[in-house]
Amino acid sequence: MDIPEIIKNKLNTTSKPSLEEARQFLRRYWGDETMLDEIRIQMENTVSFSPSSVIRGLEAIEAVLVTPLPDGTLLDMVLWDANYPLDDPSEGSAKAWLKDISEFVRNVLGDRQPPRKTSPLSRSAE
């Protein structure tokens, strides 16, 4: 049986790099919204019919948190992609905010959340 070309192309595509996936996820849910309850509702609606996009966003954020990046990258993600003002606009505050967001997303996913990945980098950074 031949596989249609459109399915072959989909199977052969590589996923977006984690940084771009995380930025897109933050723009989608936090970019224009400031009320956490509204973000939760929107995300729960998405999870109810397509949890994979939320799972990909969570995994991307968690991957970014353990990946060495140029200084200021996390801060830019929070300030510009998530459109979230930090009281202390620093890389450390941005990292803490993103960790909180990953826990928020895990809470929304509930039993659909992926297993946590451990990394030697994440242990040494804390």
- How do residues 93-124 score in pLDDT, each as one tens digit? 999 999 999 999 999 999 888 888 765 444 44
Number of domains within the chain: 1
Question: Does 120 fall in a domain?
Answer: no
Question: Does 6 fall in a domain?
Answer: no
Question: Does 23 fall in a domain?
Answer: yes
Phi, psi for 31 (deg, rounded to 5): -55, -40
- If we measure between CA atoms, which residue out of 37, 43, 42, 34 comes closest to residue 82? 34
The pTM of this model reads 0.78
Question: Does 124 fall in a domain?
Answer: no
Domain that holds residue 36: 15-112
